[in-house]
Structure 1
């Protein structure tokens, strides 16, 4: 995916759902993966010409998996001249040693978000941008159907007054394949995920299933995304 196309899709999502207001202080949640690094890069470019002015920073929650090294993320942020925060935690120990939950992902995500939101509050940052792409939205809807018996996907904008932060998802129109091509073209180095359940989760299953469906029924992804955007979910912005 070319840079111009990437920025166009991100800007369209921001405008469709009014994700940015003048004076916002926005942190990009950076895991070190291809999606979050692409969003950070794109938001830096967008900051230069978007009509609504906003401050930009990056934040990483280090859950404590052995072998995770975010030095490259810090260097990438320094290159882009973006302030960077790394929040170090013991979430990995809590989830995999103390709790030993058979479904660790939801607990891990909850603890990660809590740690980041606390730090964002201390920094006076009012919005966090997550890099959920188009495929993430589609896979979430598929998981919702399979495991919950309802049709739903997380909203583009989520107000969290108890945390004092608003979540925005500017990459919702960007296909995952386009992100992969963009990262390769730009030579962006990603951080290897050392989570012991990476690739064996319900989301990984939904991803594989969705790819199979789309191969057998070309265009299925686009039609599902169309249904999501027009789904009139209660917590989605009108």
Structure 2
């Protein structure tokens, strides 16, 4: 594409070695950092394996790893590069940033970071910001429409690049916040799937960090001194319901440590027979054998 920026393929072993060395060049040499890094890698690999993100019977997939410039997507890329270097990830990596034309977006930050790593990448410039500001009334949040437009472009880019999966940096806390949002505001028991097929059935959406805690990723990103790009450049973040859910979880965690971990286990332990969803339970057939 004319507006894309491309870098050489970095999926051979020499390039992966170079990327890993560049990635950790300024990392702390401490026991606590090594433990943190090991925990994130272990949880990422656990998720990749637990949710069959790679088909062992298919050719090596190419993954479009979405990079926003936030702590989570940087940590995602770092974990995947690290796992690839260790021989634990049999997938090609193409990092991708979609520049949506938000005011003040520093266009040089991600290309400079990715070029230093030598990771294959594509920068796509699409002014969705103007579309969103035109359609959304002033004072309303842009996030929903912005997300839909971004998703459409990422799917298109994945197809153009021959990628089997669109890889996102959502973590455990994102899934829990989404669960509460849907519970309190959407009227549904729904969260974030670690792996799903898009509506067209031709692309996987993958979330390898789904077992990772946000606080771990925040500490990792700070230790790594990633060049973080703020997520509120559009000015549409104030008063978001998600922030309320995050505060609710923080309050629970402070009063009863371990609540997030317990809630995550609950999302992995669904019991349809204890729910009132008639699409999951044939209530008309639920009668004692000797009735009537």
On whether the aligned pair clears a TM of 0.5, the verdict is yes
List per-residue Cα deviations over 1:138-187 (Å, max 9, x = no partner): 11111111102222211100112627321100001110100111111112
SS at match of 1:93: helix
The alignment yields a C-alpha RMSD, in angstroms, of 1.8
Unaligned stretches of 5+ residues in structure 2 = 1-32, 273-292
| Distance apart, 1:205 and its partner CA | 1.6
| Distance apart, 1:34 and its partner CA | 0.3
Runs of 4+ in 1 over 4 A off after TM superposition: none
SS at match of 1:154: coil
| Equivalent in the alignment of 1:217 | 256
Distance (Å, rounded) in 2 between the aligned partners of 1:206 and 1:82: 35
The two structures have a TM-score, normalised by structure 1, of: 0.91
| Equivalent in the alignment of 2:7 | none
| Distance apart, 1:52 and its partner CA | 5.2
| Equivalent in the alignment of 2:173 | 135
SS at match of 1:128: strand
List per-residue Cα deviations over 1:49-105 (Å, max 9, x = no partner): 244521101111111111011422112212222111122112111111234383431
* Structure 1 stretch displaced more, 176-185 or 195-204: 195-204
* CA distance 1:15–1:199, shift in 2 (3 Å): farther
- Tell me whether 1:74 sits opposite 2:108 in the alignment: no
| Equivalent in the alignment of 1:153 | 191
* CA distance 1:88–1:232, shift in 2 (3 Å): farther
Count of matched residue pairs: 233
* Structure 1 stretch displaced more, 34-43 or 96-105: 96-105
* CA distance 1:60–1:52, shift in 2 (3 Å): closer
Distance (Å, rounded) in 2 between the aligned partners of 1:174 and 1:216: 21
Q: Looking at CA atoms only, which structure, 1 or 2, has the larger radius of gyration?
A: 2
1:104-119 to 2 correspondences below 5 Å: 104-119=142-157
Distance (Å, rounded) in 2 between the aligned partners of 1:60 and 1:188: 15
* CA distance 1:107–1:32, shift in 2 (3 Å): same
Distance (Å, rounded) in 1 between the aligned partners of 2:165 and 2:69: 19
- Tell me whether 1:204 sits opposite 2:243 in the alignment: yes
Unaligned stretches of 5+ residues in structure 1 = 234-238
| Equivalent in the alignment of 1:236 | none
The two structures have a TM-score, normalised by structure 2, of: 0.75
Structure 2 contact 83–89 (Cα < 8 Å) conserved: no
Q: Which among 166, 171, 179 is matched to residue 217 of structure 2?
A: 179
| Equivalent in the alignment of 2:46 | 12
